[in-house]
C-alpha cells in the first residue's frame, strides 16, 4: 500500500511538472510571437519607402512644369529638340550676301511658280491670279496674319504688294552666323526657299524683325509665339544650325508657357492662330473697308526714309552683292528700273 501511494505521489508530481512546463510554453511563445511583429513593424511604420519617392516625383514634375520642361517621353517636343541644339556664339558675318543662298525666290520645286508666289498661294485665302500665269502669280487674297493676329487684304501692285511680305522664320543672315557657312550651296539654296522656313506675314512686322532671332524679336501676337519659336527650332534642327545662349534662353522662356508644344510638321500648312479677343475685335471692321490695303503700306515708308536715301544700285547684281535683295519700294536703293514687274519688290 505504501509502495502504491509512493508510486501515485510520484506520478502526480511528474504530471504537475509537465503541466508547469507545457503550461508556460504557450505563454512564452505567444509573448515572443507578439514581440517579433512589434520589432518588425516598427521599422516599416517609420521608413515608409513607397510614399516618399512618389511624393518627391510629383513635386519634381510640378517644378518641371513650372519652368517649362518637356514632358517625359515626348517626341518632337519643342523644348526637347531645343536642348539638342548646339549653343555657341555668333560667327562673324564676314562674307555674307543674299547670293550665298542662291537666286531670290528660285523655283526649287520646278512647279513653274517662284517661291514667293508658292507661299502666297499656300497662306492666303480667297485668292485671284494674274491672267495667263496658269494660276501661279497671286493677284489678290486675304491673309490672316500670324504675327499680328489681324486680317490683311493683299492686292498685288507697286504701291500695295509690300503689305504682305514673305518672312524667313530663321533669317538668312542669322543662319549665316550660326552654321550656314558650313552648308553646301544647294543646302543654303534649299534653306532660303524651304516652305518650312517661310511665312506670308504683315510687311511692317517683317521689316521690324529684320534678321533678329528670338532673343531680339518675337511676334506681337502672343498666341503665335509658341508655334513661331517651335518652327525656328525645327528649322535649326533640320539644317544643323546652332543657337546663342541668349537665343536659347529666350526660346525656353516662351516654351515655359506651353511645355507640350511640338515642332510643326515639316512642310505643313500654317493654321493661322487668332489673336486675343480684343485684337480680333479690332480687326473685324477692317474687312468692311473696300480698300484697306493701301493704308498699311504707307506705314513702313517712314522707317527706311530715316536711312541713307542716296543709296544707288546700278543693277540687281549690285543689290545682291550688297546683301540687300529683295528691295521693297520705299527702301534705300529701290528704283522702278530694278522692279521689272512693277509689283513694288525689286530684284526678287
Q: Each residue of 2-47: pLDDT tens digit? A: 444 454 444 444 444 443 434 444 434 333 333 344 444 444 343 3
304-331: b or e for each residue (b if 16 or more CB lie within 10 Å)?
beeeeeeeebeebeebbeebbbbbbbbb
**Looking at the predicted structure, is the pLDDT value of residue 173 above 50?**
yes
- Position 309 confidence tier, pLDDT thresholds 50, 70, 90: low
Cβ neighbour number for residue 259 with a 10 Å cutoff? 19
**Looking at the predicted structure, is the pLDDT value of residue 94 above 70?**
yes
Cβ neighbour number for residue 231 with a 10 Å cutoff? 22
Q: Which of 344, 319, 303, 325 is nearest to 173 (CA)?
A: 325
Q: What is the pLDDT of residue 345?
A: 77
Cβ neighbour number for residue 114 with a 10 Å cutoff? 19
Q: What is the pLDDT of residue 37?
A: 42
Distance from C-alpha of 340 to C-alpha of 335, rounded to nearest angstrom: 10
Q: What share of the chain is helix, strand, coil (3-state, %, to 5)?
A: 50, 10, 40
Cβ neighbour number for residue 54 with a 10 Å cutoff? 10
What average pLDDT score do residues 239-260 get? 98
Q: What is the pLDDT of residue 343?
A: 64
pTM exceeding the 0.75 threshold for the entire prediction:
no
Q: What is the pLDDT of residue 117?
A: 96
Beta strands in the chain (DSSP E): 125-129, 138-144, 151-155, 164-168, 198-202, 327-328, 345-346
149-181: b or e for each residue (b if 16 or more CB lie within 10 Å)?
bbbbbbbbbebbbbbbbbbbbbbbbbbbbbbbb
Distance from C-alpha of 348 to C-alpha of 341, rounded to nearest angstrom: 10
Amino acid at each position: 500500500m505504501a509502495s502504491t501511494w509512493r508510486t501515485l505521489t510520484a506520478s502526480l508530481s511528474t504530471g504537475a511538472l509537465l503541466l508547469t512546463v507545457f503550461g508556460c510554453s504557450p505563454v512564452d511563445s505567444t509573448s515572443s510571437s507578439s514581440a517579433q511583429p512589434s520589432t518588425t513593424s516598427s521599422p516599416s511604420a517609420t521608413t515608409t519607402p513607397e510614399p516618399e519617392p512618389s511624393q518627391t516625383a510629383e513635386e519634381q514634375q510640378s517644378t518641371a512644369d513650372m519652368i517649362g520642361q518637356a514632358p517625359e517621353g515626348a517626341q518632337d517636343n519643342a523644348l526637347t529638340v531645343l536642348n539638342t541644339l548646339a549653343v555657341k556664339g555668333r560667327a562673324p558675318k564676314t562674307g555674307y550676301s543674299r547670293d550665298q543662298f542662291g537666286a531670290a525666290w528660285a523655283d526649287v520645286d520646278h512647279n513653274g511658280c517662284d517661291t514667293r508666289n508658292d507661299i502666297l498661294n499656300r497662306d492666303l485665302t480667297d485668292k485671284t491670279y494674274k491672267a495667263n500665269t496658269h494660276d501661279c502669280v497671286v493677284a489678290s487674297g486675304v491673309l490672316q496674319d500670324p504675327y499680328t493676329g489681324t486680317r490683311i487684304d493683299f492686292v498685288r501692285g507697286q504701291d500695295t504688294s509690300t503689305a504682305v511680305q514673305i518672312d524667313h522664320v530663321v533669317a538668312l543672315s542669322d543662319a549665316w552666323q550660326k552654321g550656314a557657312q558650313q552648308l553646301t550651296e544647294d543646302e543654303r539654296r534649299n534653306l532660303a526657299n524651304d516652305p518650312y522656313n517661310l511665312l506670308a506675314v504683315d510687311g511692317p512686322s517683317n521689316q521690324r524683325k529684320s534678321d533678329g532671332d528670338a532673343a531680339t524679336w518675337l511676334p506681337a501676337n502672343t498666341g503665335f509665339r509658341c508655334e513661331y519659336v517651335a518652327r525656328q527650332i525645327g528649322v535649326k534642327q533640320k539644317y544643323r544650325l546652332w543657337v546663342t545662349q541668349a537665343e536659347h534662353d529666350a526660346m525656353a522662356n516662351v516654351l515655359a508657357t506651353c511645355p507640350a508644344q511640338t515642332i510643326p510638321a515639316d512642310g505643313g500648312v500654317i493654321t493661322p492662330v487668332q489673336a486675343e479677343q480684343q485684337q480680333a475685335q479690332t480687326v473685324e471692321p477692317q474687312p468692311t473697308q473696300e480698300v484697306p490695303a493701301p493704308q498699311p503700306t504707307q506705314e513702313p515708308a517712314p522707317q527706311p526714309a530715316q536711312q541713307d536715301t542716296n543709296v544707288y544700285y546700278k543693277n540687281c547684281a549690285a543689290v545682291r552683292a550688297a546683301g540687300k535683295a529683295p528691295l521693297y519700294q520705299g527702301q534705300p536703293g529701290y528704283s522702278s528700273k530694278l522692279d521689272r514687274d512693277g509689283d513694288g519688290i525689286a530684284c526678287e
